[in-house]
Amino acid sequence: MQTSNKRTKILHLITSLEVGGVQHGLLLGLPRIDKKRYEHAICSITNKMPMANEFKKKNINVFTLNINSKTDFLYSIRLRNIIKIYKPDIIHTYLLHANILGRIIGKTCNIKTIISSERTIGQANWYERFLTKITNPLVDIVEVNSKKGKDSIHKNLKVPKEKIKIIYSGIDIKKYQISKSKTQIKKSLNINGSKKIILCVGRLRKVKGINFGIETFYEIKKTMNNTIFIIAGEGEDKKQLEEQARVLSLDKQIKFLGARKDLPEIFSISDVIIMPSLTEGFPRIAIESMAAGKPIVATNVGGTPEAIKHKYNGVLVESKKPKIMAKWVIKILKDKKLANHLGVNGKKLVSEKFTIEKYIKQVEIMYGKYTSKERLS
């Protein structure tokens, strides 16, 4: 058992350090957790690590298993070596592949506490579900970020309810108080100052429904020509989506911005945010939009309704229905009173429920169960 003056060392195992909601959440949260009690390192399974330097700047040790092909079978040995070097008290894993690997290797390395985080709903195939189910006994806590996520992993992944802990995402609201002028931001992006801006943020992959976002914009252009659609994010579907825009003759009116480090500024110039996802765990983009005071039109999937209350701080529509989504976007763009109502309520909700302070408090309570002080109390 550790002594009271020794910090608890936590190794965070994640699939990659690509730009994504989970990664941004860790970058925001880990440096704020009580430094007198906890020390953190992060390990990427793959060699995709564009955010690695950002973690290093926060004095977080960064490791990688450096997997770059499906035929690389030495990753388990590399993880064992990292565990031997770092000597963590807790392994905290994120996303499906890291969850399974961390449970198995962590247990065989005699790590006393293993925590998994499930962030997706309904995306695992049968084999991944099977591996999750048979490794459930190896994990102490499974952290989720929505009530829908809790119900889903209990039903589909057979995680016992007593092992599931809900911790909602949190953000630093101050980052969304932008002093830079909108004119200046638009100019830097080569956007006409009079254009109404529709924004979509997310990985360019099928589950995010970006193709339906493009179809939504196509419908909007039929009624409102003074609009532009900007898409922030990277992913494997980028070329396919660019081709879709070209075929619909929208390539001059859609901007693919790639991964951005200035999202608060991008939010500040946007008039409405759309989230056309096919499935969601808990959408971090929703609470970022709310912090920026922006109205949201989102699909009613997964944990999204836990962030967005229909007609209160946003609008919920059925997925794969671009005409309906477009109808609501047009209504919001034309009705300043409605847009303001949704934006103001969003700011209020995020300050009440989704602050970084609330998130950190809950994480420290979870980790606290496995430190000496709490164990002895």
DSSP state of 175: G
Radius of gyration for the chain, computed over Cα atoms and rounded to the nearest angstrom: 21
Residues 188, 147 share a domain: no
CA angle 248, 249, 255 (to 5 degrees): 100
d(CA 202, CA 113): 32
Amino acid, res. 306: E
Q: Residue 4: its pLDDT value, please?
A: 53
- Assess whether pLDDT exceeds 70 at residue 375: no
Which CATH number is 251's domain given? 3.40.50.2000
Tally of domains in the chain:
2
Residue 1 domain-assigned?
no
Residues 343, 205 share a domain: yes
- Assess whether pLDDT exceeds 90 at residue 131: yes
Provide the residue range defining the domain that includes 244. 173-353
pLDDT digits (tens, 9 = 90+) for 4-43: 568 999 999 999 998 888 898 999 999 999 999 999 999 9
pLDDT digits (tens, 9 = 90+) for 330-344: 999 999 999 999 999
Rounding to the nearest 10 degrees, give the CA dihedral for residues 93, 96, 99, 100. Answer: -160
d(CA 18, CA 78): 20
Q: Dihedrals φ, ψ of 288, to 5°?
A: -65, -40
Instruction: State the angle between helix axes of 336-353 and 284-291 in degrees (0 to 180), rounded to the nearest 10.
Output: 110
Mean per-residue pLDDT, 54-76: 88
- Confidence (pTM): 0.86
Mean per-residue pLDDT, 205-217: 97
Residues 226, 122 share a domain: no
Residues 364, 343 share a domain: no
pLDDT digits (tens, 9 = 90+) for 199-208: 999 999 999 9
Residues 306, 257 share a domain: yes
More confident residue, 259 or 316: 316
pLDDT digits (tens, 9 = 90+) for 246-286: 999 999 999 999 989 899 999 999 999 999 999 988 899 99
Contact status, residue 268 vs residue 182, Cβ threshold 8 Å:
yes
DSSP H/E element including 225: none
Residues 89, 33 share a domain: yes
Q: Dihedrals φ, ψ of 243, to 5°?
A: -65, -40
Rounding to the nearest 10 degrees, give the CA dihedral for residues 72, 78, 79, 81. Answer: 170
- Assess whether pLDDT exceeds 90 at residue 125: no
